């Protein structure tokens, strides 16, 4: 049996700043460990980028020092969306790319994500190698072999041009009036340029980061302000990105939120209609059942992975797919890039709006979202949900009541001490009542 990783989770390492392992001391050692794994023969190069949270300065310096001590050259990118680091790692032929970010979390959290030279998340075996070096004493190579560090000053421009290149030649978005919320995060100096340079009239929110306002009542995790601004400015639609730019949520001209499931459906249907879709569409255990049914009506295969864009990517690779994503807004378009990218995904939706002449509101009508209720039950101790007879009996009763037009999901959170109870179906009242009853059964089982 493979032992559990001590630091790496489903999406890198993440936690509260100042609480191990998210400390300057650990990041110094981590930079050294990454350097040792990727040094190989001769001096190698690793990119380091970050989002806009204040602790990024501290961790950037610590990682640089550790990489230098391991004899690896560092290329400092500064604030850059996570998918931008993936793109630059690949095109600059770096051995690895490090992103200092806690994604959609508040400013007092931080962490790291790692990309391979191909611009994809690291394989498990590489993360195990890094953790193994963390157990060793830190050493420094001879001075003549120390790594060197310098900043790449044209990183933003490179990534902006890449994003623009993901739409079809000759397509522009002149006449579109849009609002873009950058969440005071890593896209603040990228996204407005991308959308304006392809012809749209852009009004920008969340583009004044101060180190602590990242994701604060803005961006993909809080699109309410964007909805109000779309109505106020009479915009055609709004685009909300998260702090590190790998999530996308949109708002139509009525102010209604269009989530990741709906956006993935719009892109998948577009590729299908243009005979460009390859393989199945991949969602997760949390993907709305309405999308699965809408894709089935078109004759498009759909499969589910575990929750997390890492698992979506693994499933796409295993089944030869090109499109996948999550309701939270992680959307992967492998025909355009190597990882989830909020800006690139938005451009695909804009191109479909232009191609069809339909509004975002009209495009999302092809999918009926089923009511879904999610209740988090705090874990007070270990429990195996799959073998607890009381919980399984109640789960089966709820599933029988919902029939083929409903679904129940019970799972332990991978990042918090919680059991997630999710019920969805066509009748919102039954869904809500069933979720509450099942959650109460889980609470009672835990207290027993």
Architecture of domain 259-369: 3-Layer(aba) Sandwich (3.40)
pLDDT-above-70 percentage for the chain:
98
In this model, does residue 139 exceed pLDDT 60? Answer: yes
Superfamily of domain 13-153: Alpha-D-Glucose-1,6-Bisphosphate, subunit A, domain 3 (3.40.120.10)
Question: For this structure, is 447 an active site residue?
Answer: no
Q: How far apart are CA 184 and CA 221, in angstroms?
A: 12
Q: For 399-430, what is each residue's pLDDT tens digit?
A: 999 988 899 999 887 667 788 999 999 999 99
Q: In the chain, where does the domain assigned CATH 3.30.310.50 lie?
A: 372-447
Portion of the chain with pLDDT greater than 90, in percent: 88
Q: Can you tell me whether residue 258 is helix, strand or coil?
A: strand
Q: Are 377 and 418 in contact (CB under 8 A)?
A: yes
pLDDT at 3 over 90: no
Collapsed DSSP state (helix, strand, coil) of residue 5: coil
Of the pLDDT bands very low, low, confident and very high (cuts 50, 70, 90), residue 2 is low
pLDDT band for position 370 (cuts 50, 70, 90): very high
CB 281 within 8 A of CB 260: no
pLDDT digits (tens, 9 = 90+) for 313-366: 999 999 999 999 999 999 999 999 999 999 999 999 999 999 999 999 999 999
pLDDT at 415: 62
The residue written with tokens 């050692």 in the block is: 29
Whether the CA torsion 280, 282, 283, 284 is positive or negative: it is positive
Asked whether 71 and 54 are in contact (CB, 8 A), the reply is no
pLDDT above 70: residue 41: no
pLDDT in tens, 89-103: 999 999 999 999 999
Instruction: Quote the mean pLDDT of the chain.
Output: 95
Q: Can you read off the two tokens belonging to residue 353?
A: 């709006």
Q: Which tokens belong to 425?
A: 């179906």
How high is the pLDDT of residue 1? Answer: 39
pLDDT of 182 reads 98
Confidence category of residue 309, pLDDT binned at 50, 70, 90:
confident
- The residue-averaged pLDDT of 286-303 equals 96
If you ran DSSP here, which 8-state letter would residue 400 be given?
A: H
The total number of residues shown for the chain amounts to 448
E strand or H helix at 127, and its extent?
helix 124-134
Could you tell me where in the chain the CATH 3.40.120.10 domains are found? 13-153, 174-255, 259-369
CA separation, residue 248 to residues 30, 174, 266, 399 (Å) = 30, 22, 13, 31
Mean pLDDT of 289-312: 94
pLDDT: is 189 or 44 the higher one?
189
Write down the number of H helices and E strands in the chain. 14, 18
Catalytic residue among 55, 103, 116, 328: 103
Q: What is the mean pLDDT of residues 371-383?
A: 85
SS3 77: strand
The CATH-assigned architecture of domain 372-447 is: 2-Layer Sandwich (3.30)
Domain 174-255 belongs to what architecture? Answer: 3-Layer(aba) Sandwich (3.40)
């Amino acid at each position: 049996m493979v032992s559990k990783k001590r630091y790496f989770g489903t999406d890198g390492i993440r936690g509260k700043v100042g609480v191990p392992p998210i400390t300057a001391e650990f990041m110094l050692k981590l930079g050294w460990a990454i350097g040792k794994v990727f040094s190989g023969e001769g001096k190698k190069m690793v990119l380091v980028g970050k989002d806009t949270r204040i602790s990024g300065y501290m961790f950037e310096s610590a990682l640089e020092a550790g990489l230098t001590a391991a004899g690896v050259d560092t290329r400092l990118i500064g604030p850059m969306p996570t998918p931008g680091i993936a793109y630059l790692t690949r095109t600059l032929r770096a051995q690895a790319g490090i992103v200092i970010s806690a994604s959609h979390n508040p400013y007092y959290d931080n962490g790291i994500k790692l990309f391979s030279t191909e611009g994809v998340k690291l394989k498990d075996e590489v993360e195990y190698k890094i953790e193994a070096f963390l157990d060793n004493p830190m050493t420094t190579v001879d001075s003549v072999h120390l790594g060197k560090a310098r900043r790449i000053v044209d990183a933003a421009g490179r990534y902006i041009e890449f994003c623009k290149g993901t739409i079809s030649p000759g397509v522009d978005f002149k006449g579109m009036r849009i609002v873009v919320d950058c969440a005071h995060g890593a896209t603040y100096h990228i996204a407005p340029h991308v959308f304006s340079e392809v012809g749209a009239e852009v009004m920008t929110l969340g583009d004044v980061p101060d180190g602590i306002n990242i994701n604060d009542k803005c961006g993909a995790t809080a699109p309410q302000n964007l909805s109000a601004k779309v109505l106020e400015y009479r915009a055609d639609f709004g685009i909300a990105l998260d702090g590190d730019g790998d999530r996308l949520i949109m708002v139509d001209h009525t102010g209604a939120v269009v989530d990741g499931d709906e956006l993935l459906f719009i892109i998948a249907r577009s590729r299908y209609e243009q005979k460009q879709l390859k393989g199945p569409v991949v969602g997760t255990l949390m993907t709305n059942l309405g999308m699965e049914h809408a894709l089935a009506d078109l004759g498009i295969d759909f499969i589910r992975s575990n929750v997390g864009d890492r698992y979506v990517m693994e499933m796409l690779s295993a089944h030869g797919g090109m499109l996948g994503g999550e309701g939270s807004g992680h959307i992967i378009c492998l025909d355009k890039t190597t990882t989830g990218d909020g800006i690139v995904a938005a451009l695909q939706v804009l191109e479909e709006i232009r191609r069809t002449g339909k509004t975002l509101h009209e495009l999302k009508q092809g999918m009926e979202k089923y009511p879904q209720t999610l209740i988090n039950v705090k874990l007070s101790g270990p429990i195996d949900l799959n073998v607890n007879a009381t919980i399984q009996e109640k789960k089966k009763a709820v599933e029988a009541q919902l029939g083929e037009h409903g679904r129940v999901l019970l799972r332990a959170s991978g990042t918090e001490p919680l059991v997630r109870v999710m019920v969805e179906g066509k009748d919102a009242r039954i869904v809500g009542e069933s979720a509450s009853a099942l959650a109460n059964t889980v609470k009672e089982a835990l207290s027993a």
